[in-house]
Amino acid sequence: MAFQRVLFIGATGNLGAPVAAQMLRAGYRVRALVRDPARAAADPRLAGAELVPGDVLDRASVAAAMQGCGAAYSNLSGASFELADSTEYRGIRTLCELAREQQLAWLGSISGAGDLAAANQLRPLAVKAACERAVAESGVPWTLFKPSHFFESLPMFVRAGRIAIPGRQPHRYHYLAAQDYARVVVAAMADSGCHHRRLTLHGPEVLTMAEALAIFRDARYPGARVGTMPLWLMRLLGRVSGNTELARVAELFATFQAHGDDGIASELPAGFPALTTTSRASPSSTCWSRRASSRAPW
């Protein structure tokens, strides 16, 4: 292990926390930059992490948190699809500049599957593509992780016991679990063969959003109907109500509607963890949904 301490940006979400927990299990010392350390401390997945108050948009706090770290990992996402206003892009750019200044041994970041640069007329993908360029041009060893859709996104479609998909979503996705993704990230950190690479990560099954949600529904909300909500209606409601989040979700799902899970999964080194949450009898989505139904409510 060429480095021991990792600066972690974005450790408090449903995708970031499993990665931080896996790093801790692997023996890394995780320093998580968080806006609210007290709230982060309540998450048992972050037990053992050093929680440092700060904001990724505050260069001084990021620079201070990076002191003594040999690597950094970003699980950032942003609410704005305007590049100049994007927390994700501005945060990644700052992280890359400081990684170069402090000569980190490795920099990793989550991105998204597919050729993002080829579809950069879609604003959410243009932001992701710009983040990828910043990481690849950082001047330090880097890895970009490009996963397909996560099973962990499925509970977000549920509101008041009803399941609704924004827009018409015809594409099939290689759904994967955050825990499996976390194992691959930690394995790639220590493997120089994964440095200076974009790793496209696919789960074992190919499902539409409706198919994945039907499996989740059967495990967690039996009898609930999986319906759709037109994107034009979401945009209209967003404008009338001034709900910018609704407008943002409509734009994001318009992007999903136009841009599928293309590309071929990267070949990972021998001995890497498998991207499959499964049992012999159950496909991975069913297995994940059953496990999710036994945990605390979302």
Question: In this predicted structure, what is the pLDDT of residue 136?
Answer: 96
**Is 211's pLDDT higher than 80?**
yes
Residues forming beta bridges with residue 176, ordered by sequence position = 150
Confidence of residue 238 (pLDDT cuts 50, 70, 90): confident
Question: In this predicted structure, what is the pLDDT of residue 283?
Answer: 53
Q: Which residue has the tokens 């999986």?
A: 226
Question: In this predicted structure, what is the pLDDT of residue 40?
Answer: 96
* pLDDT tens digits along 47-98: 999 999 999 999 999 999 999 999 999 998 866 566 666 788 999 999 999 9
- Tell me what the mean pLDDT of segment 210-216 comes to: 92
- Percent of the chain past pLDDT 70, that is, above it, reads 86
Q: Which residue has the tokens 């040999």?
A: 70
Question: In this predicted structure, what is the pLDDT of residue 84?
Answer: 62
Instruction: Provide the residue type at 290 as one letter.
Output: R
Sign, CA torsion 154/77/107/193: positive
Contact 166, 231 (CB under 8 A): yes
The contacts of residue 257 (CB under 8 Å, 6+ apart) are 167, 168, 169, 170, 171, 231
**Is 264's pLDDT higher than 80?**
no
Confidence of residue 122 (pLDDT cuts 50, 70, 90): confident
Domain ranges of the chain: 5-148+177-203+264-269
Taking each helix axis from N to C terminus, what angle separates 209-220 and 284-293, rounded to the nearest 10 degrees? 40
Tokens of 166: 């924004």
Q: Measured between alpha carbons, how far is residue 72 from residues 34, 199, 217, 241, 244 in Å?
A: 14, 17, 37, 40, 32
CATH of domain 5-148+177-203+264-269: 3.40.50.720
| pTM to 2 decimal places | 0.87
**Is 29's pLDDT higher than 70?**
yes
d(CA 8, CA 259): 29
**Is 233's pLDDT higher than 60?**
yes
Residue 12: left if φ>0, alpha if ψ -120 to 50, beta else—which one? alpha
Q: Dihedrals φ, ψ of 9, to 5°?
A: -110, 125
Confidence of residue 285 (pLDDT cuts 50, 70, 90): low
Q: Measured between alpha carbons, how far is residue 110 from residues 176, 212, 272, 273, 286 in Å?
A: 14, 22, 18, 17, 25
d(CA 101, CA 98): 5
Residue 131: which H helix or E strand, with range?
Answer: helix 123-136
Tokens of 58: 């505050």
Residues forming beta bridges with residue 108, ordered by sequence position = 73, 143
Q: Which residue has the tokens 């995708």?
A: 15
Average pLDDT, the chain: 86
Sign, CA torsion 60/61/67/71: negative
Question: In this predicted structure, what is the pLDDT of residue 243?
Answer: 84
- Tell me what the mean pLDDT of segment 229-246 comes to: 87
Among 100-109, 180-189, 214-223, 258-267, the least confident range: 258-267
Question: In this predicted structure, what is the pLDDT of residue 197?
Answer: 94
**Is 278's pLDDT higher than 50?**
no
Confidence of residue 161 (pLDDT cuts 50, 70, 90): confident
